[in-house]
A and B are shown apart, each in its own frame.
Chain A
Amino acid sequence: MRHLLSTRDLGREQAIELLDIAEDMAAVQQREVRKLPTLRGRTVVNLFFEDSTRTRVSFEAAAKRLSADVITFSAKGSSVSKGESLKDTAQTLQAIGADAVVVRHQASGAPQTLATSGWIDAGVVNAGDGTHEHPTQALLDAFTMRRRLHGDASRGRGLDGARVVIVGDVLHSRVARSNVWLLDALGAEVTLVAPPTLLPVDVSAWPARVGYDLDAAIDSGPDAVMMLRVQAERMHAAFFPNSREYSRTWGLDDARFARLPRTTMVMHPGPMNRGFEIAASAADSAQSTVLEQVANGVSVRMAALYLLLSGEREEAA
């Protein structure tokens, strides 16, 4: 794998291979010695133009447990925020000798620009770009679902027939986009539920059903309900009348949670607005996978870094 920019580029086989390798990585996390020597001598740069402590720490842990050297380059307070361009930064990383660059950027497509510009030879992992994609988040979500559904028999399997409902601000969500493509590739059935204002204007080509009625989706007894975070800045941009109405109509409140089957997974990419898009009772229940998602994130990112940094650079020429 030369880069990991989007789940759209992943076929079913490649996605399952990555999830299987993540299973091996997860097994290593159960040992006393949690570290592998695999990427000794390789340099992974975490390039974060946007604050995200959770994702950054997860990638750092993944790289370190594979024995890579990790350099974290945070845009906050650096020359990046003083107008140094993506190109200059990339060329600096090239000079340092980065083998992989994990990039989080507020602009959609920035990782792809980095990967295709010729400024840098390193493999690029998209750690979230604008409102485009967040492929490792979708992979860890899929990994979490697969484990809950198939347990120790997960290896080699997809998510065929699993019914997943994704609820909330789909328009601005890179997590939703990455999940839609990946879940479809793995054979799951996706339903998006959102206020019409928070859906892209034309999603007819997306491999997902679209609805506005969360109650109907809840009563269909899905295998997983994924609640998306609603950013504070949406509250005042006329996407919905006010937070009370949003929460009442599209929030996973106590009553809706109680109607879900006991086996339905409750997922959230975090950080959660408790009491707004998700009730505390749901977030803290046994059905919630929130903490597993965090733990699985390290395994999935280890797998991604392994695939990126092993093997000959066949496409590098």
Chain B
Amino acid sequence: MSRTLIRGATLVDGTRGDLLLDDGRIAEIGSVTDAAGATVIDADGLLALPGLVDLHTHLREPGFEQSETVLTGSRAAAAGGYTAVFPMANTSPVADTAGVVEQELRLGEDAGYVTVQPIGAVTVGLAGERLAELGAMAASRAKVRVFSDDGLCVWDPLLMRRALEYVKAFDGVIAQHAQEPRLTEGAQMNEGALSGELGLRGWPAVAEEAIIARDALLAEHVGSRLHVCHLSTAGSVEVVRWAKARGIRITAEVTPHHLLLTDDLVASYDARYKVNPPLRTAEDVEALRDALADGTIDIVATDHAPHPAESKECEWDAAANGMVGLESALSVVHEAMVETGRFGWADVARVMSAAPASIGSLAGHGHALEAGAPAELALYDPEVRAEFGVGSLAGRSRNSPYLGSTLPGRVVATFHRGVPTVLDGQVRPADEVAGGARG
């Protein structure tokens, strides 16, 4: 049984302390004197954060293993300080049955780097026509609680209403990809002054805001829980703020890239910046940061979307949407929220760990670091500032918009169930991680 003593880490409240990890739990915290047989890690100057939880990940397996697998995506997650991820259902076959979600769960357990908690599809084959077997997926060994057709909007209002109602039976939540399909046919970038100039088909903010408003009213009407994926506009923030003030059970997420990057990057026609929803304006970025700070937006989720090189090295229209984000998320939030004075580290822990675990009803994650809590944590060096390069990526794909730019901070170590998955900034070999978790 592995015992690890983390010596002299800084906790999110600013105090310093030791953490003794034993048998997958935090055995002691504070000033640890008796640590016989423990591996000692010097954490002087490092921040101890609860293991991060990503409510929005694409692991691509089964079906798109050339982009990512559960194993490679788990390694990318660990490299970013994550200990749990929720993979989206748009695999092939689609995760719309108990069989597929259980397979993903097992692949995650075999990999051993993070808890892989599958998300189930809302509709069969993401086709938006018939409800998938939501109950069977909830009752399966994967215990699915989050359902989403992400990548596609559950557009049919009646189907959306039924889904919201149906998952109440097991306290599930529908995570909506808010995109009015008719208003975004062929859309390539944020609709505004720049889209007109570049001759790229626009993706208007109203296409997101109208669906969020509709869904909020539906959730209110049927008394259900609604989660909104990747909010991207100032208008969406206003709608969610209004819905929360009304007492509607709505939660919202924002991606790291929507907190940092703006649509003017598209002028390069460099498809690394192509993502859905698209990068928006500087005003939208400001509104999203403020909304995350005041609690209107509940969580940060990566929308980690790996793609092979050929899907990005091409003309803009033909390129795939999406960016990888697990490895860079914490640094981007650091830059967008901490360095701008909006967040302390306790806030970071809330929006990247506690709140997403709570929305996803995931036990064993998101706990504050205290004696008796599961040993899910990350050590982060907030003082360094370095170029984000290909070496910083740990998954199978390289479609990061940050390659070549400088970002603050670095994940030095990650522990999942007390086992180090990352040490000295390096992802640990798969056999040692899997062996450690079983042992």
Once bound together, how far apart are the Cα atoms of A152 and B242, in whole Å?
Answer: 67
Given A112-B269, A201-B204, A202-B193: A131 in contact with B314 (beta carbons within 8 A): no
Residues 193-211 of chain B: 1 if any A CB is under 8 Å from the residue's CB, otherwise 0?
A: 1011111101010000000
| Cβ contact within 8 Å between B317 and A107 | yes
| Cβ contact within 8 Å between B268 and A116 | yes
Q: Is A275 among interface residues, defined by CB-CB distance under 8 A? A: no
Once bound together, how far apart are the Cα atoms of A129 and B199, in whole Å?
Answer: 9
Q: Is B318 among interface residues, defined by CB-CB distance under 8 A? A: yes
Once bound together, how far apart are the Cα atoms of A206 and B271, in whole Å?
Answer: 25
Q: Is A200 among interface residues, defined by CB-CB distance under 8 A? A: yes
Residues 92-136 of chain A: 1 if any B CB is under 8 Å from the residue's CB, otherwise 0?
A: 000000000000011111101100110000000000011111000
Given A200-B195, A201-B196, A205-B193: A86 in contact with B202 (beta carbons within 8 A): no
Given A85-B314, A86-B314, A201-B192: A133 in contact with B268 (beta carbons within 8 A): no
Once bound together, how far apart are the Cα atoms of A205 and B267, in whole Å?
Answer: 15
| Cβ contact within 8 Å between B315 and A109 | yes
Residues of A with C-beta under 8 A to B202: 200-201
Identify A109's interface contact among B191, B193, B196, B316, CB under 8 A. B316
Given A109-B269, A113-B269, A116-B268: A202 in contact with B196 (beta carbons within 8 A): yes
| Cβ contact within 8 Å between A117 and B313 | yes
Residues of B with C-beta under 8 A to A301: none
Identify B200's interface contact among A86, A109, A113, A174, CB under 8 A. A109
Identify B198's interface contact among A109, A113, A204, A206, CB under 8 A. A109
A226 to chain B, nearest CB (A): 18
Once bound together, how far apart are the Cα atoms of A60 and B432, in whole Å?
Answer: 64
Residues of A with C-beta under 8 A to B197: 177, 200, 205-206
Q: Is A203 among interface residues, defined by CB-CB distance under 8 A? A: yes
Q: Is A248 among interface residues, defined by CB-CB distance under 8 A? A: no
| Cβ contact within 8 Å between A113 and B192 | no
Residues 257-295 of chain B: 1 if any A CB is under 8 Å from the residue's CB, otherwise 0?
A: 000000000001111000000000000000000000000
A85 to chain B, nearest CB (A): 5
Identify A200's interface contact among B196, B269, B270, B317, CB under 8 A. B196
Q: Is B156 among interface residues, defined by CB-CB distance under 8 A? A: no
A37 to chain B, nearest CB (A): 36
Which B residue's beta carbon lies closest to that of A106? Answer: B317
| Cβ contact within 8 Å between A113 and B316 | yes
Residues of B with C-beta under 8 A to A201: 191-192, 195-196, 202, 204
A177 to chain B, nearest CB (A): 7
Chain A interface category by residue count: 20 to 34
Once bound together, how far apart are the Cα atoms of A106 and B186, in whole Å?
Answer: 13
Q: Is A54 among interface residues, defined by CB-CB distance under 8 A? A: no
| Cβ contact within 8 Å between A133 and B196 | no
Once bound together, how far apart are the Cα atoms of A106 and B314, in whole Å?
Answer: 13
Once bound together, how far apart are the Cα atoms of A200 and B198, in whole Å?
Answer: 11
Residues of A with C-beta under 8 A to B315: 86, 105, 107, 109-110, 113
B201 to chain A, nearest CB (A): 8
Q: Chain B: how many interface residues by the 8 Å CB criterion? A: 23
Residues of B with C-beta under 8 A to A107: 315-318
Given A108-B198, A113-B269, A201-B204: A130 in contact with B317 (beta carbons within 8 A): yes
Q: Is B310 among interface residues, defined by CB-CB distance under 8 A? A: yes
Which A residue's beta carbon lies closest to that of B185? Answer: A237
| Cβ contact within 8 Å between B314 and A113 | yes
| Cβ contact within 8 Å between B196 and A87 | no
| Cβ contact within 8 Å between B199 and A130 | yes
| Cβ contact within 8 Å between A85 and B310 | yes
Residues of A with C-beta under 8 A to B193: 202-205
Identify B196's interface contact among A110, A116, A129, A203, CB under 8 A. A203
Once bound together, how far apart are the Cα atoms of A129 and B200, in whole Å?
Answer: 11
A189 to chain B, nearest CB (A): 20
Once bound together, how far apart are the Cα atoms of A203 and B202, in whole Å?
Answer: 13
B134 to chain A, nearest CB (A): 36
Residues of B with C-beta under 8 A to A206: 196-197
Which B residue's beta carbon lies closest to that of A202? Answer: B193
Identify A177's interface contact among B188, B192, B199, B317, CB under 8 A. B199
| Cβ contact within 8 Å between A108 and B313 | no
Residues of A with C-beta under 8 A to B188: 108
B133 to chain A, nearest CB (A): 36
Which A residue's beta carbon lies closest to that of B316? Answer: A109
| Cβ contact within 8 Å between B199 and A132 | yes
| Cβ contact within 8 Å between A108 and B268 | no
Once bound together, how far apart are the Cα atoms of A86 and B318, in whole Å?
Answer: 10
B210 to chain A, nearest CB (A): 16
Most-contacted residue by chain B among A109, A131, A202 (CB, 10 A): A109
Q: From residue 140 to 195 of chain A, which have CB atoms closer than 8 A to chain B?
A: 171, 174, 177
A7 to chain B, nearest CB (A): 12
Once bound together, how far apart are the Cα atoms of A201 and B316, in whole Å?
Answer: 21
Once bound together, how far apart are the Cα atoms of A132 and B268, in whole Å?
Answer: 13
A5 to chain B, nearest CB (A): 10
Residues of A with C-beta under 8 A to B318: 85-86, 107
Q: From residue 190 to 233 of chain A, which have CB atoms closer than 8 A to chain B?
A: 200-206
A-B pairs with lowest CB-CB distance, top 3: A200-B196, A109-B269, A132-B199
26 pairs, A vs B, C-beta closer than 8 Å: A86-B315, A86-B318, A87-B313, A105-B315, A107-B316, A107-B317, A108-B188, A108-B198, A109-B269, A110-B315, A112-B269, A113-B270, A117-B313, A129-B199, A130-B317, A132-B198, A132-B200, A133-B199, A177-B199, A200-B195, A201-B196, A202-B192, A203-B193, A203-B196, A205-B197, A206-B196
* A108-B200, A132-B199 given; 19 more Cβ-contact pairs under 8 Å: A85-B314, A85-B318, A86-B314, A86-B315, A87-B310, A87-B314, A108-B199, A109-B199, A112-B269, A113-B269, A113-B271, A113-B316, A116-B268, A131-B199, A132-B200, A133-B199, A200-B195, A200-B196, A203-B193
Q: Which residues of B contact A (CB under 8 A)?
A: 188, 191-193, 195-200, 202, 204, 268-271, 310, 313-318
Q: Which residues of A contact B (CB under 8 A)?
A: 85-87, 105-110, 112-113, 116-117, 129-133, 171, 174, 177, 200-206
